[in-house]
Structure 1
Amino acid sequence: MGRSIYKLSKIRQEAEELNFTILINNCCREFNNNTYYSGIPKYDKVLSEYFGKTGHDLHLKLDFLSETTEVYVPLRYVSESKRHLYHFPVVARNLETEELKEIDIDRFLELVVSHARFEYPNASVDSIKDRLHNSIDNIEAYLKHFQETKKEVNKAEMSFIESEQLLAVGHSTHPLTKGRSGFSNEDLINYSPETEGRFQLHYFLIHHNHVTEESVEEKLFSEILKDELRKYAIEDESVIQLLKENPQWKVVPVHPWEANFLLVQPDVKEMQSNKLLYDLGAWGALYTPTSSVRTVYNEESDWMFKFSLHVKITSAERVNYLHELYRGYDFSRLLKTPWGENLKNEYPDITIISDPGFISVSYKGKVIDGFNTSIRYNPFKGRNADKNIAVLASICQDEILGEPARIVNIIEEAAKRKSLPVQETAIAWFQKYIALILPATINLFNKHGVACELHQQNVLVEFDEALFPSRIYFRDNQGFLFRKSKEEELISIVPDLAKHSKAFIPDDRLFSLLSHYFIISNITSLINVFGCNGLTTENQLIDIVYTEINKAKDTSGFVDYVLNNRYWKVKGNLLTALTNIDGGAAPSSVVQVDYPNILHNHFLSKQLIFPAGKETIYSRYFPKADVTISIRPMDLDRDLEMLHEWFHRDHAKKIWKMDWPIRELEVYYRTMIAGNVLCSYIGEANGEPTCNFEVYWTTRDQVGDYYDVLPTDYGTHQFIAPTDPKKKFVSPFTQCMVDYVFAQPEVGKMVGEGAVNSLASMMNKTHVGFKIEKVIEMPHKKANLNFCYREWYWAKFPQNKNIVISPIPKETSENLI
């Protein structure tokens, strides 16, 4: 595959833009100060001139009120998952001076911190700025390395270790994605997966009373390592002599960087001086890091080693805690039982890469966590090292250094091999992945009581000859947790299970964890990469996932939670970093934010929220009133001034409270048009515009906060402009609005929340079948929350049951009251 050679300045620019993109997307996930902005404004001269020059007509708009600033980012791709793609540069406008200028990532970060302090007063730019630049510098270094070594970072076929080491970004939802605070420039080269660092493991000999270890193997790993070390150091008399003199002592491996860190720690120095610990140095075969940096691999070794590393990788020092080591060991013990054999038989296309043992060191009753090491089976040894295996993060990697995204290369090549169109191949590939991973994950939780942290870096995909998924690997079972409700059952299999691992977690908390790691980080990320590369639409894949989850047999409540909850919880990586929380040391302190349930897009009515065109979509003739009512989508170029005049009429001011300056009203509609919550329509009576109504998707609207909203609920606002009773045609207009909404199959019930002081509005709603549910106190009004079902409407107007939505008016009989 050929590619262009980038200039160094362009590589720096790409590194900055990759990290800037993640930072902006974190804001979209974690704050509510952003909307989309469509088109070039008529009444905003500053924006009009600038957008006219850039040629971009869709932007992300972020409001930073504490700084009297608004920011505009040109959108290249809008994602349902909020992982958007952008054009650069980013511009900010000072709302007091109207000055518009380009801003860099530092200024954007300052605005973000100022905004975050509204809710998180301890948010600080000091806790993140240097690490953010460290991440950018590291991305730049890795991109240069890829280019200098002529690496094809997104090729379709890779070995296990290639896919682990060719991740230019890696963690696509963390603002410090390639932060490696603690590594020097030399360390970065020597120990990074991206630079293919290769190094020997560092060994210590430690008094056995200070070592805790467990293993499901016949021999303890300290003994296995001791046997290997005897071979490595056969010509080093001092090492061999120490092993002979201390036969019960334990050989403990550590990462070479961590060895240097440990040797200057007071407890380790004291152990050395008390002759309880000997530094044996580096020996043996060369290992290379996987994508986690601290887990290392050798293609001829039976084991991988997951070391502690006191380096801040993204936002936390990557230290193994003792209870996490026990979790991996506990799960390996389960796998050694008939329970584990049953798993293998039940899920033949799933391989769990287990961690059969660990080593830990303590001194004076305190764990020295730098020694904590988990040992993992290596299924990619020998001939298996060359298998076409991909960590999911690699499959989800965007275009890099001018190369297409890896998923594009995979799907296009798969389409050739199967002689199928690309889009058909993309959908079939995704369906195969879902068929492999989704039932297994849900059943593991429902039937077996295991919740797996299956984020992008914990899932590996093996490909068949056609480049379709054929096997899924789950790894990092230190993060596998057990349902509290299954405790008695699982302890009957392994009596002291989770005694030290704190692994039994209440079911409802696991719902949140599993949806975050599996649905959001895993499946949604894959949906996003298919969509943003034009292989298919995100909503097509969302429909597939919804359908498959809906089929799942589940008694745990997880499927119900995933399908029906309005929001899931997701880690607020930006807020966690800004507040300087170490997610490894204090996982319960990590900031959690609401994430709109993406599966509810299955019920999004494109016709209601994104009607095509600007012409009439529904007309109906009412003979008794001798009026033809027509409905069309609002046309901003045609209707803005008219709506501005309507909302300044006295009767509109009291209820609608939209008597804003026309520039402000234009912003309202431009953000509405670009979003997926609301659509505005114009109603005409005999060709004369006299009505405005809005249809909104209630689950994404503020009203959804006030009752148990369903994704099939749709609300309306209605405004009749004339005050002359002869021109109002209230009932015909309302019937047409309700006809149109209920004609859409996605709609379950209609919702309204008219102000309690708008008696005429509520009477009109009651006239067509709406019923008041309760009074709600919203920030801007006290309102009558009211509902209507089709049956209630048709009971009032039976003749409307068979209405056909057509732009051509039909004569109908009716009973107008």
Structure 2
Amino acid sequence: MDRIICNQSDIRTAAEEINYTILINSCCREFANSTFYYGSPKYDEVLGKYFDETGHQLHLKIDFPEGIEVYVPLKYASESGRHQYYFPVVERNLSTDELRVIDMDRFLELVTSQALTAHPDATVENSKERLHNSVDNIEKYLTHFYENKLKVNKAEMNFIEAEQLLAIGHHAHPLTKGRSGFSGKELFTYSPETGGRFKLHYFLIHPTCVTERNVEEQCFSEIFREDLLKHADTNVLGLLNENPEWKVVPAHPWEAQYLLQEPLVQEMIANEALYDLGAWGALYTPTSSVRTVYNEESDWMFKFSLHVKITSAERVNYLHELHRGHDFARLLATELGQKLKNQFDYINFITDPGFISVAYKGRVINGFNTSIRKNPFKGEFANKNVSLLASIFQDEVLGEKSRMANIIEEAAKRKKQPVQEVALAWFEAYIELVVPATVTIFSEFGIACELHQQNVLVEFDDDLFPAKIHIRDNQSFLYRKSREKALTALVPDLATQGNAFIRDERLLDLISHYFLVSNLAALVNVMGATGLVKEQTLVELWYKKVVDLKDEDETGLVDYLLNNRYWKVKGNLITALLNVDGGEAPASVVMVNYPNLLHLRFFSRQLIFPQPDEVIYSRYFPKEEVTIRIRPIDLERDLEMLHEWFHRDHAKKIWKMDWPIRELEVYYRTMLAGNALSSYIGEANGVPTCNFEVYWATRDLVGDYYDVLPSDYGTHQFIAPTDPKKKYVSPFTQCMVDYVFAQPEVGKMVGEGAVDSLASMMNKAHVGFKIEKVIEMPHKKANLNFCYREWYWAKFPQNKNIVISPVAEKSTELVSHE
């Protein structure tokens, strides 16, 4: 449970910590400068004393330029990369060893210094101002929820409740609740979080200035005119009657005031091409996007342009986006739409069948651009139990459990089943709805939907399980370039103004960001962070579902999901520091690598997280009369020994780890906390003699130099003695290879020994490794080498049936485990 809220000070602290957490996670995702750090160091007095005082054992360590490092205590370390933290955060200046608590402003300054190393145009000032705006807004929204006793994470909600009870918002955007442009009063009037209600503002515009589309017969301007005739005063009615051919155009009331200040609009007024009719009619309320408004009795929702920076972009509808939404509605009106409906009757596309745009003297006035969306949550359907994903994924807040926890626990009560069992079934039900459909809609129909947390709505059944999916925001849908001929045969001018045909490879990266990371990985994260199911367990279920689809896809999407080392995700923090408006310049949004989460299916916890203080493998070699034992390193008893080993002459040249012991301790404390590398001690007849490391190659530097597979694992081996009688090279190497190949996740072993270490390569060749090629790594020129089980067993057939046991059998007979 999160902090207990007792007063306004607690709410302010909660608001700061919510945004600070998102900022830290954005830094981790977008820069390669963070590691985990475990334990309290023995040889770093300042850091050790501070950690002992706080009592936190696991930290995120972030290294910044000019010798600055930051430590953040971890509450939850996520496999999918969205961690949770304790506060405060501390900065250490390595030149002075001074530790000090830092706030978000200082952290953002450090992040900017990191960004400048690759992005010289990065600047902190604009982002800092909007970060403060986000925190201030979160505080106001939390206060509103708290004072009005609103439950933001209850299990059941109707459409508009879920849209308006988002305390946290965008988990992957550091400016999550930024609303630059709203004044204090406007913030409360126009924010979904405060449930503001307002009338639409109308204009009467000369028909030559208005472009409108509707897939259905009636023009929307006529619908608006009919509505005004019911509500307006005599002055407005007079104007409507005097100008029967003129178009009635609505606007968001905030945007209307913005438009009235625009020189081009003022010129239209002066030339009597536009009349300001004012605000009339029914009350509308904002949905989670802020600019899209809803009335439970209306057939339509309206997605207005809004020159307010929400997160980091002014939310303006551009003409090509309006055409995209309209084009998709036209496409659904063809046989393709009926086929989609027949094949996926549990998916509802909330279409944008029409739009209105205004231009004067050849110049489009974007503030008038409005997309008109069907409202499936009208009348009797307004109270359906349906929620956007962002609401379902909302963390603990205001003393409430996470919403996912509340949903699963209530579902478990209704089903009278254990919570973990229900959580697994819920996850499977969700991926069964969305994963096959997404692959088929992309491969067979050629459509890439933008399936992020804001655009996907889940409709629940009576047991609170996902039963139906609603997908909105068609103006962001794109089409496979390779399917252009087939799709334009259905709608001949499809996307001619929407620029929506995109090469398939580019679409895969966009699907990665919106669907794989923002949608599915986020679901894995929230279930893991809530303690419902371990993340790796969920990934294995997801992986299995994708594998089942291999034969149904020829587009490369399934291959991308399964085999790409990295997926792609938007670098929202870097983009904000570059002051790029993603809406105006989407091609300028920075994309960064995101390690393929499905590769966790091949993550060996045994190799990377072995149980400490236990001998994991012992084997007796009668010829050498030696018992080899392997155990994970124990820093308390091994650090000084390893420090001495690496300072031996034969180690310095090859291993280059003859560091001060404080630096060596940092190396091991970050290694043991991380998820890519582990270290072991080998003992010969009880005497520590060997050190070897096992690493997951897909998360290691070596993966940059060949087509790495997620089942590849590598090793580094160091024999401490120089006396040949004490080295036991072959027994140690066999035990190392036995142990690695015993793990079912391992496909092949990898090595990258320095080319000037002939003995190392000869030792590898001795057990079956073969050189693939020579590679130039930053720190060495190396022989990239591989070994498969069959190659190893060809060298040592007697080892094929080895049993990995902590107890060595002093017998030449080996027991088969096959």
Calculate the TM-score normalised by the size of structure 1: 0.98
Give secondary structure in 2 for the equivalent of 1:616.
coil
Give secondary structure in 2 for the equivalent of 1:300.
coil
| Structure 1 letter corresponding to 2:43 | Y
Measured in 1, the distance between the counterparts of 2:566 and 2:335 equals 38
Which residue in the other structure is 1:643 paired with? 642
Give secondary structure in 1 for the equivalent of 2:627.
strand
Give secondary structure in 2 for the equivalent of 1:331.
helix
**1:421 CA displacement:** 0.6
Measured in 1, the distance between the counterparts of 2:245 and 2:787 equals 78
Which residue in the other structure is 2:695 paired with? 696
Contact 2:2 2:396 in 1 (8 A): no
1:419 equivalent to 2:416? Answer yes
**1:438 CA displacement:** 1.0
Measured in 2, the distance between the counterparts of 1:253 and 1:170 equals 28
Following superposition, which runs of at least 4 residues in structure 1 exceed 4 angstroms of deviation?
1-5, 812-815
Distance 1:578-1:5 versus aligned 2 partners, 3 A rule: closer
Measured in 2, the distance between the counterparts of 1:4 and 1:100 equals 28
Contact 1:106 1:129 in 2 (8 A): yes
1:454 equivalent to 2:451? Answer yes
Which residue in the other structure is 1:17 paired with? 17
Measured in 2, the distance between the counterparts of 1:602 and 1:76 equals 24
**1:813 CA displacement:** 4.6
> Can you list the C-alpha shifts for 1:477-529, whole angstroms capped at 9, x where unaligned?
10111111111111111111111110111001001101110010000001100
1:404 equivalent to 2:405? Answer no
Distance 1:404-1:124 versus aligned 2 partners, 3 A rule: same
Contact 1:299 1:380 in 2 (8 A): yes
Measured in 1, the distance between the counterparts of 2:92 and 2:508 equals 42
Give secondary structure in 2 for the equivalent of 1:386.
coil
1:378 equivalent to 2:375? Answer yes
**1:15 CA displacement:** 0.2
Measured in 1, the distance between the counterparts of 2:79 and 2:270 equals 59
> Can you list the C-alpha shifts for 1:385-435, whole angstroms capped at 9, x where unaligned?
111111100000000111100011100010000001110010001110111
Measured in 2, the distance between the counterparts of 1:771 and 1:81 equals 34
Which residue in the other structure is 2:279 paired with? 282
**1:812 CA displacement:** 5.5
Which residue in the other structure is 2:35 paired with? 35
Measured in 1, the distance between the counterparts of 2:6 and 2:476 equals 40
**1:6 CA displacement:** 2.4
Contact 2:480 2:501 in 1 (8 A): yes
Give ranges in structure 1 of 5+ residues lacking alignment.
Answer: none
Match of 1:488 among 485, 493, 511: 485
| Structure 2 letter corresponding to 1:127 | N
Distance 1:625-1:602 versus aligned 2 partners, 3 A rule: same
> Can you list the C-alpha shifts for 1:305-325, whole angstroms capped at 9, x where unaligned?
000000000000000000000
| Structure 2 letter corresponding to 1:500 | Q
Give ranges in structure 2 of 5+ residues lacking alignment.
Answer: none
Measured in 1, the distance between the counterparts of 2:79 and 2:616 equals 27
Contact 1:159 1:387 in 2 (8 A): yes
Which residue in the other structure is 2:594 paired with? 595
Measured in 1, the distance between the counterparts of 2:203 and 2:274 equals 7
| Structure 1 letter corresponding to 2:373 | R
Measured in 2, the distance between the counterparts of 1:811 and 1:120 equals 61
| Structure 1 letter corresponding to 2:219 | L
Q: 1:153-552, aligned counterparts within 5 Å?
A: 153-233=152-232, 236-552=233-549
Measured in 2, the distance between the counterparts of 1:811 and 1:248 equals 100
Measured in 1, the distance between the counterparts of 2:257 and 2:168 equals 28
**1:613 CA displacement:** 3.0
> Can you list the C-alpha shifts for 1:128-148, whole angstroms capped at 9, x where unaligned?
011000000000000000011
Give secondary structure in 1 for the equivalent of 2:560.
helix
> Can you list the C-alpha shifts for 1:622-646, whole angstroms capped at 9, x where unaligned?
1011111111111111110110000
| Structure 2 letter corresponding to 1:802 | N
> Can you list the C-alpha shifts for 1:277-303, whole angstroms capped at 9, x where unaligned?
000000000000000000000000000
**1:80 CA displacement:** 1.3
Q: 1:44-123, aligned counterparts within 5 Å?
A: 44-66=44-66, 68-123=67-122
Contact 1:622 1:814 in 2 (8 A): no
Contact 1:395 1:407 in 2 (8 A): yes
Identity %: 71
1:140 equivalent to 2:155? Answer no
Give secondary structure in 2 for the equivalent of 1:36.
strand
> Can you list the C-alpha shifts for 1:163-196, whole angstroms capped at 9, x where unaligned?
0000011101100000000000011000000000
Measured in 2, the distance between the counterparts of 1:496 and 1:97 equals 66
Measured in 1, the distance between the counterparts of 2:274 and 2:335 equals 40
Give secondary structure in 1 for the equivalent of 2:27.
helix
Measured in 2, the distance between the counterparts of 1:381 and 1:722 equals 79
**1:65 CA displacement:** 2.4
| Structure 2 letter corresponding to 1:289 | P
> Can you list the C-alpha shifts for 1:419-478, whole angstroms capped at 9, x where unaligned?
011100100011101111111111100110000000000000011111111111110010
Contact 2:679 2:694 in 1 (8 A): yes
Measured in 2, the distance between the counterparts of 1:407 and 1:727 equals 58
Give secondary structure in 1 for the equivalent of 2:382.
helix
Q: How many residues align?
A: 812
Give secondary structure in 2 for the equivalent of 1:129.
helix
Measured in 1, the distance between the counterparts of 2:773 and 2:433 equals 46
Distance 1:761-1:511 versus aligned 2 partners, 3 A rule: same
Q: 1:699-710, aligned counterparts within 5 Å?
A: 699-710=698-709
**1:217 CA displacement:** 1.2
**1:239 CA displacement:** 1.1
Give secondary structure in 1 for the equivalent of 2:690.
strand
| Structure 2 letter corresponding to 1:29 | R
Contact 2:3 2:14 in 1 (8 A): no
> Can you list the C-alpha shifts for 1:4-50, whole angstroms capped at 9, x where unaligned?
65210000000000000000000100011110000111111111111
Contact 1:646 1:652 in 2 (8 A): yes
Measured in 1, the distance between the counterparts of 2:335 and 2:62 equals 55
| Structure 2 letter corresponding to 1:657 | K
1:674 equivalent to 2:670? Answer no
> Can you list the C-alpha shifts for 1:331-388, whole angstroms capped at 9, x where unaligned?
0001111210111111011111000100000111111000000000000001111111
1:787 equivalent to 2:789? Answer no
Contact 2:2 2:399 in 1 (8 A): no
**1:612 CA displacement:** 1.6
Which residue in the other structure is 1:583 paired with? 582
Measured in 1, the distance between the counterparts of 2:5 and 2:506 equals 49
Contact 1:620 1:808 in 2 (8 A): yes
Give secondary structure in 2 for the equivalent of 1:128.
helix
Measured in 2, the distance between the counterparts of 1:73 and 1:442 equals 39
Which residue in the other structure is 1:768 paired with? 767
> Can you list the C-alpha shifts for 1:224-267, whole angstroms capped at 9, x where unaligned?
1111111111xx22211211121111111000000000000000
Contact 1:316 1:582 in 2 (8 A): yes
Q: 1:591-670, aligned counterparts within 5 Å?
A: 591-670=590-669
